[in-house]
Amino acid sequence: MTANSRKTFLVCHGAWSAGWAWKKMHPLMQAAGHRLVTPSYTGLGDRAHLAHQGLDLDAHINDMLNVISYEDLRDIVLVGHSYGGMVATGVADRVRERVAQMIYIDAFVPRDGQSLFDLNEVAIASMREAARTGDGWRIPPMQTPPDTSPADVEWLSARRVAMPIKCFEQKLLLNRGETNLPRSYIYATRIPPADTFGQFAERTKHEAGWRYFEIDASHSPNVTAPEALMALLQEIVS
């Protein structure tokens, strides 16, 4: 592998999750000669002890910006999974010159001024009710897809934590408007959760500036189909 073909992948992970959920992808990335960086947002994963009521989308964008700055990451393949599409869109807006391309994996793709709740109106009532019945500001994890193996369900359940509701409520403000970076969308076709992400599959199939891909996996292929996801990521960056 030449130096030019080695990539740095930076993952903006999904809600309730954290960097640990990409554990299966690290050896695959290493074997392919790439670097995989999987930080955890404040209040989640290994940083769960830092959770507080004021955490919002901007806080998680700033988490990623600090990783980029302190690790001096450049020519990044910026990956957004699920809620991480909100984060990745904000990150790319702030440091466009550091990002080579973007890959959304079954993720939200916001436009300027949109929140996750704006893009997922079906779930708002149930999520707000779930927060109210808890501590009032966090939403407990959603169920894992039924094709997740028992061992993975056990692994995930022990580590997923409640998600600050402000992260879903805060509207993303883009300083530079719609990006002109190369973007790819990977739609997970197996057992789509209320087909939340079908709207983005349809949009990115037909909108200029996108490459569209599908994967025969449920919502978190980094957990349930890591080899298939690795092959697809390799195809995209090649």
Domains of the chain: 3-237 (3.40.50.1820)
pLDDT digit string (tens) for 225-235? 999 999 999 99
Residue 82 falls in the annotated catalytic set: yes
Low-confidence ranges of the chain (pLDDT < 50): none
pTM of the model: 0.97
pLDDT at 3: 60
- Distance from C-alpha of 39 to C-alpha of 24, rounded to nearest angstrom: 15
Q: 237 and 182 in contact (C-beta within 8 Å)? A: no
Among the listed residues 17, 40, 69, 82, the single catalytic one is: 82
Q: 53 and 137 in contact (C-beta within 8 Å)? A: yes
Q: 11 and 37 in contact (C-beta within 8 Å)? A: yes
pLDDT at 2: 65
Q: What is the DSSP-derived secondary structure letter of residue 136?
A: S
List Cβ neighbours of 215 (8 Å cut-off, separation of 6 or more).
186, 187, 188, 189, 221, 225, 228, 229, 232
- Distance from C-alpha of 77 to C-alpha of 69, rounded to nearest angstrom: 15
In the chain the beta strands, taken as DSSP E runs, fall at 8-12, 35-37, 76-81, 99-105, 138-139, 163-164, 183-188, 210-215
pLDDT at 191: 80
What's the order of all strands across the beta sheet hosting 210-215?
A: 35-37, 8-12, 76-81, 99-105, 183-188, 210-215
pLDDT at 70: 98
pLDDT at 123: 87
pLDDT at 149: 97
User: Tokens 């079906």 — which residue?
Assistant: 122
Closest CA to 11 of 84, 90, 61: 84
